[in-house]
Structures are given as C-alpha cells and as structure tokens.
Amino acid sequence: MPGLPFLPGVCAVGSGVWDRNMTENHVATATVQIRATPQEVWAVLTDSARVPEYMFGSEVETDWTVGSPIVYRGEWEGRSFEDRGEVVLVEEPHRLVMTHFAPKPDQSEATEVHHTVSYVLEPIGDDRTRVVLTQDHNAGKEEQEHAEANWSAMLEALRTAVEKDIVTD
C-alpha cells in the first residue's frame, strides 16, 4: 500500500491494519459518509476538545503524533473507564492508526488483547468523505459484531459533529 511505512508485526490489508501473527482475526469494520472534505473531517477527528462530541462523552489525552500515548477517559454503562494506546501512524488528512487497550479489573495488561484501530478518510468527489474504521483482534464473531455496532454509532456521532460545522449556501 503506497505511503504506509513498515510497522514491525503489522501489515496493511485494504483499509485496515492487522497483526500477521494472528491465525484468525475477526476485524470489525464500520463506515460512514460525511458531507465534508477529508481535511474538515480530520480537523474534528483529531481535535481533542471535540472528541467528547462523538466518542460517547469520553475525553482524550494525546498530542496526535506517532509514538505518543493516547488515553480515553469517561463513563460507559455506569462505570468509569480509562482506555490506553499509542498513536502508530498519522497521514493527515487520510489515515490515523492507533493501538487500543481497555483494561479489565481482573486481568493484567500482559494478558489483555491490544486492538489496532485504523481510520481511513477517502475523498468522494469534492465535498464528501468516506470514513472506514477497522478494529482488529476481536476474540470472535460476537465481539466483532459488538465492536461494529459501537464504532458505527461513534461514526454517526462524528458525522453529526462535522456536518453541523458545514455552512451550506
């Protein structure tokens, strides 16, 4: 894939990124079309102050540069959470890849699965963008479908956040 650097243990497939050591990789995929340019979508996607608008009220802490930590904090289904990861790839305004780890109280980080979450922003004509989000390392079909439902809801909220900023003539 042009422009995608070599990442140890990771290879690009289509719009997603996955670990080539996985024997069976249930990749969750969610897609949305947004009435805005990739630059306009990118601006909202990577504006830490805007993240709560589309990420279920979660706040994010990161500087959006490769190698930097990324931490999401919030409340989900009545429980506080702190998800962590690292920014892996930034190709503004077309690709953002990060790892994602959601710790469970009864397990250590070493036993947890780390996902790779990839956002790909594809221009459609002059004024639309297709956002394709993938999340790898889902334990099975049920977890994949659950992730797809959550990411689809998040992408719809992203669409709403971006499109409310667009002034039409």
10-163 CATH choice from 3.30.530.20, 3.30.420.40, 2.40.160.20, 3.20.80.10 = 3.30.530.20
Q: Give, in order, the Cα–Cα distances in Å from 135 to each of 6, 36, 50, 101, 168.
A: 19, 24, 22, 11, 33
pTM for the model stands at 0.81
Tens of pLDDT along 72-127?
Answer: 999 878 888 899 999 999 999 999 999 998 876 665 555 566 899 999 999 999 99
Domain extents in the chain: 10-163
